Amino acid sequence: MPDISAWFNDLLSGNLIFTATTMGYYWTGLVTTTQLVFLSLVIGLVLAVPLAILRSSKRKWISLPVYLFTYVFRGTPLLVQLYIIYYGVVFFDGIQESVFWPIFREAFYPALIAFTLNTAAYTTEIFRGAIKATAKGEIEAARAYGMSQGLMMRRIIIPSAFRRALPAYGNEVIFMLHASAIASVVTLMDLTGAARYVYSRFYTPFEPFLFVALIYLCLTFAILFFFRFLEKKLLAHLKPQTP
């Protein structure tokens, strides 16, 4: 172990830009980016499933509000949403005294809220498409068995819709990772924020941005790998069968 750290120090010695300090910034950045993206995706997914079911309802008064939500959040840039949630809330009088202030005071939670709502909107539409694409025959068969609407949703429509949505959802996860690069505009030290800091301190654009680009590539690769694995498992029945 001391060998490795000695080797590492040796490697970094005489290098102004890749020092232990800047590595610390990149590490903080990686942690922040991962937390932000992971949490927003999980919460977004949990929100998106019921929203997608409401969105596919035939009753206008149920589906329309959800449609408005997805329309607004897909129809405006994430950067604008982040600005509104972070800088906009402080224009509500008395927000500093309210119980919400500990949440909005930090930069992390407004960013998390913006990212979550944004990914929830996209994921809702992805799932709605998948629910709509359920084969008619499956629904008719479920009805013929006398399944109620709820039971049919739970046993037939949702499981198959999940599978159909998987490839599109994998893309959404990668988009979310890349979209998180705007977090540094609200003072968060994410990966891009760390690169911007090193860039502005040492006036060197190439090293920090190439370095974080590499980290983003690694993260993307891990996500791709995970979804490839999931697709292989869950979509096995769609593959051409060899006897």
Partner 1 sequence: MKKLLSVSLIGLAVAAASSAQARDYDHVRIGVDVPYVPMEYRTAEGDLTGFDIDLGNAMCEEIGVTCEWIEQEWDGIIPGLLSRNYDAVMSSMTINDERRQQVLFSEPYITMPSAWFAASDLDIDEANEETLEGLTIGVQRGTLQDNYVTDNYGSVADISRYSTADDMVLDMDAQRLDIVFLDFPIGQSTLVENEDGDYVIVGEQITEPKEYFGDGFGIAFRQRDEALAEKFNEALATLKEDGTYDEIYTRYFGEE
Six-digit token string for 1: 């172990």
Residue bearing tokens 């890349």:
178
Given a contact cutoff of 8 angstroms between Cβ atoms, the answer to whether 29 and 191 are in contact is: yes
Radius of gyration of the CA atoms of the chain, in A: 23
Choose one: 127-135, 170-178, 198-206, 213-221; the region binding partner 1 (CB under 8 A).
Answer: 198-206
Q: Are 12 and 18 in contact, with CB atoms under 8 Å apart?
A: yes
Least spacing, CB of residue 216 vs partner 1, in Å:
20
Single out the segment in contact with partner 1 by CB under 8 A; choices: 69-77, 173-181, 203-211, 235-243: 203-211
Among 50, 65, 77, 205, binds partner 1 (CB under 8 A): 205
Give the other-Cβ count within 10 Å of 225's Cβ: 10
Binder of partner 1 out of 199, 207, 227, 231 (CB under 8 A): 199
Percentages helix, strand, coil for the chain (3-state, rounded to 5) are 85, 0, 15
For the chain, the first-to-last Cα distance in angstroms comes to 52
**Whose CA is closest to 162, among 226, 240, 235, 74?**
235
Nearest approach in angstroms of CB 203 to partner 1 is 5
Query: How big is the CA angle at 157 (ends 155 and 163), to the nearest 5 degrees?
Result: 100
Residue 210: CB minimum distance to partner 1, A: 14
C-alpha distance from residue 23 to each of 31, 134, 210 (Å)? 12, 49, 14
Does 197 interact with partner 1 (rule: CB under 8 A)?
yes
Site string for partner 1, 15-54 (x = CB under 8 A): ----------------------------------------
Say whether residue 201 binds partner 1 (CB under 8 A).
Answer: yes
Record the tokens describing residue 42, joined without a space.
């999980």
Residue 67 in contact with partner 1, rule: CB under 8 A: no
Task: Check binding of 203 to partner 1 (CB under 8 A).
Answer: yes
Residue closer to partner 1 by CB (options 28, 160) is: 28
Residue ranges in 84-143 that form contacts with partner 1 under rule CB under 8 A: 87, 90, 96, 105, 107
# binding residues, partner 1 (CB under 8 A) = 17
Binding positions for partner 1, rule: CB under 8 A: 87, 90, 96, 105, 107, 185, 187, 189, 193, 196-197, 199-201, 203-205
